[in-house]
Chains A and B, each alone.
Chain A
Amino acid sequence: MTTFDTAERRRTVEARPVIAELIDAATVQAIAEEAWISLVGEEEVLVPLPGELPADVLSSWVDVVGPWTGSVVLTTGRRTAEELTRALLRDSAPAELEEEDVADAFGEIANVVGGSVKAALPGQSALSLPSVGTGPDVRNAADVCRIDLLWRGEPVAISVQGALPALPAPRTTPVHPTYENEVPL
Chain B
Amino acid sequence: MRALVIDDSRAMRRIVSSILTGLGYEVRDAGHGGEALDVLNEGWVPDLATIDWNMPVMDGLQFVSAVRSNPAWRSMTMMMVTSESEHTQIVRALAAGAHEYVIKPFTADAIRDKLALLGLLPQEVVL
Write the residues of chain A forming the contact surface with B, with a CB cutoff of 8 angstroms: 34-35, 37-39, 42, 85, 88-92, 100-101, 104-105, 107-108, 111-112, 114-116, 118-119, 124, 127, 129
Write the residues of chain B forming the contact surface with A, with a CB cutoff of 8 angstroms: 8-12, 14-15, 18, 54-56, 82-86, 88, 103-108
Minimum CB–CB distance from B61 to chain A (whole Å) comes to: 13
Q: What number of residue pairs across chains A and B have CB atoms under 8 A from each other?
A: 69
Instruction: Give A35 to B15 CA distance when docked, in angstroms.
Output: 13
Specify which chain B residues have a CB less than 8 angstroms from the CB of A100 in the assembled complex: 10
Q: Is the CB of A119 within 8 A of B11?
A: no
Minimum CB–CB distance from B51 to chain A (whole Å) comes to: 15
Minimum CB–CB distance from B126 to chain A (whole Å) comes to: 18
Q: Is the CB of B15 within 8 A of A88?
A: yes
Secondary structure class of chain B's binding surface, majority of residues: loop
Q: Is the CB of A129 within 8 A of B107?
A: no
A32, closest chain B residue (CB): B105
> A116 is contacted by which of B54, B55, B105 (Cβ under 8 Å)?
B105
Instruction: Give A34 to B110 CA distance when docked, in angstroms.
Output: 13
Specify which chain A residues have a CB less than 8 angstroms from the CB of B108 in the assembled complex: 42
Instruction: Give A88 to B18 CA distance when docked, in angstroms.
Output: 11
Minimum CB–CB distance from A40 to chain B (whole Å) comes to: 10
> A112 is contacted by which of B55, B83, B88, B107 (Cβ under 8 Å)?
B83
Minimum CB–CB distance from A103 to chain B (whole Å) comes to: 10
Q: Is the CB of B10 within 8 A of A104?
A: yes
Instruction: Give A39 to B105 CA distance when docked, in angstroms.
Output: 7
